[in-house]
Amino acid sequence: MADLTARPRRKQNPRQGKPEPRMEDVAALAAVSAMTVSRALRDPTSVNTETRLRIEAAIDATGYVPNRIAGSLASRRTNVVGLIVPSLRNSLFAETIQGVSDALGALHPLMIADSGYALAGEEAAIRAFLAQRICGIVLHNTQHTTRSRTMLEDAGIPCVETGNLTERPLDMTVGFSNFDAACAMTEYLIARGYKNIGFVSLPIRDNDRAAERRAGFLAAHERRGLVPDRELLLESPPGLRSGGHALATLIERVPAVDAVFLSGDVLATGALLEANRRGLDVPNRIAIVGSDDNELQEAVSPPLTTLRFPRYQIGHQAADMLMKQLRNRSRDISRLDLGYELIERASA
């Protein structure tokens, strides 16, 4: 079997693996022996607090990743691929996971981690995956901590980002533009005559996808020479109840609100259920639109106008791009836009 860790120079791909930091480097920086570092990694309680903190600081400074794979392994890499998504509880990511898994097949086992919608969570997952000597990684984020970027660049393994279509990927990216999709939905509402449009997203912090969607919402107003009411911009935790609470909050803030764009399938469904509970006529009193189309949005009454994204195809294509790079040491494309679709139904 070919050694997938060998990184010969490639004209098409400038990413090169760097010599990995060694345990001895950590020991020298922490002013302890390599044996002490090894002992601290196996059992942190076996060293005193001051020593443990020095070792942890040295690990962060050097970017050292402990090798959890048996030392007798001939290759420095396994054939395992890592996938990090924001949440394993959110069914939104199931299609992407399935697409990745189907494309990898039996050739590359898939290891999945949940970042918890936090960049620190992604960083911890990346560190853990690299310790298992994965051969490639798929990330839902395109925003990362400095340490995450450094670890991935130093590892030199293929990396595909899928959450947003970034202009400057770490290595490769496939997906759609959250900015363009949100802009299109907002322009659709404006064109239909809605004047006071609310926008609800998940918290913006550490979530470039939510930030891009809000930016698209604002840009659509600017293109039409309109100034959106900032009282109608809201961040919300995920969940059906949160969607209902968001709708109630916007109506309380601006009673004249006549349309709400909720940037998430569950949030939008929750808002629609709340409107029905209040006896509000949708869409005549208030229009409600969402994103991330699923069966529920089609089945509710009235069915929700929404944005549909090719989640399965994104996952499948990401894994395909990764495997091609593993096999050929080169890539045909580094940025692939699979687009989106605006689905018109009866809620707007």
What does the pLDDT read at residue 69? 57
Per-residue model confidence as pLDDT tens digits over 271-289: 999 999 999 999 999 999 9
| 19: pLDDT strictly greater than 70 | yes
What does the pLDDT read at residue 13? 43
According to DSSP, the residues that pair with 201 across neighbouring strands are 235
Place of tokens 């960049």: 119
Select the CATH number that applies to the domain covering 178-308 from these four: 3.30.460.80, 3.20.20.140, 1.25.40.10, 3.40.50.2300: 3.40.50.2300
**In contact, 172 and 331? CB cutoff 8 Å:** yes
Domain 73-176+312-341 is in which class? Answer: alpha beta
DSSP for residue 17: P
Q: Same topology for domains 22-64 and 73-176+312-341, yes or no?
A: no
Per-residue model confidence as pLDDT tens digits over 48-86: 999 989 998 998 888 888 765 554 344 578 899 999 999
Query: Domain limits of the chain?
Result: 22-64, 73-176+312-341, 178-308
What does the pLDDT read at residue 7? 36
- Per the prediction, the chain carries an average pLDDT of 89
- What percentage of the chain carries pLDDT values higher than 90? 72
Q: What is the mean pLDDT of residues 201-228?
A: 95
- Using CA atoms, how far apart are residues 235 and 86, in angstroms rounded to an integer? 17
pLDDT classification of 10: cutoffs 50, 70, 90:
very low
What does the pLDDT read at residue 331? 65
Per-residue model confidence as pLDDT tens digits over 130-180: 999 999 999 998 999 999 999 999 999 999 999 899 889 999 999 999 999
What does the pLDDT read at residue 46? 81
Cα-flanking dihedrals φ and ψ of residue 288, to 5°? -130, 125
Q: What's the predicted TM-score (pTM) here?
A: 0.78
Least confident range of 8-22, 26-40, 319-333: 8-22
